[in-house]
Amino acid sequence: MQTISNQWLYGYADSILAGTLVTIKVGLCSLAVALLLGLLVAAGKLSRWRPLARTATVFTTLMRSGPDFVWLLFLYYGGQTALNLLTQRLGVSNVDIDAFVASVTILGVIYSAYLAETFRGAFLAVDKGQAESALAFGFGRLQVFFHIVFPQMMRYALPGIGNNWLVMLKATAITSMVSLNELIFLSRAAGKATGHGLELLLVAAFIYLLLSTLSVLVLRLLAARYAAGSKEITL
């Protein structure tokens, strides 16, 4: 029996599927990095210690000012050059930066700047009186944050998180420039090999549309979960 790859997409169905899975992995891992770092940067911007607040502000300004494509090339190839110089100085063998790890790290760092602003605005939107009341009743600061502030903060932040996720998902396409075997890279390679580049790129575009649609459905479920007992959030 012929395999799927021999029946569909000019023999490259398995390759396109593999690229799609890599795209999803890069997107989800980048989102995890961006969420964690974004929370830390938002905390820095809200800090009363001015050097920390200013450093966080400079970071978000720089990351949001440069194009994703430029930052990716600069940090990936520049980082590889710097690492090679360091290994030469130390007299050890050169270490190649993994394209997947680099892509996840770079996208996560870039979009953490956007999510930091989302989290900062969401935190400021939560009524401070609730936290103060909880502290007065003997709650610890961590308890106040995770049980009172964080759930309400997420209700305000979720639309921004959702929008950034959709943009980040599409931004994974630029990782093809560092030869990561994601959807666009493999679609282009298959197009060159078969002479059906336009058709295979249209397939890639449809896959991105499908992933975005599924993401919106999941985000609506999360919005309904965090909006329970309050005005519904629309995405």
pLDDT at 205 over 90: yes
For the chain, the C-alpha Rg in angstroms (whole number) is: 22
| CATH code: domain of residue 107 | 1.10.3720.10
Domain-located, residue 29: yes
- The range of the structural domain enclosing residue 119 comes to 4-226
Domain-located, residue 56: yes
Domain-located, residue 124: yes
pLDDT at 132 over 80: no
Domain-located, residue 234: no
Domain-located, residue 83: yes
- Mean pLDDT over each residue of the chain, to the nearest integer: 86
Domain-located, residue 21: yes
Domain-located, residue 235: no
Phi, psi dihedral angles at 16 (to 5 degrees): -65, -40
pLDDT at 149 over 50: yes
Domain-located, residue 232: no
- Bigger pLDDT: 234 vs 152: 152
- Bigger pLDDT: 133 vs 165: 165
CA–CA gap between residue 203 and residue 200 (Å, rounded): 5
pLDDT band at 2; cut points 50, 70, 90:
very low
What confidence tens digit (pLDDT) does each residue in 219-229 have? 888 888 776 65
Q: Total structural domains in the chain?
A: 1
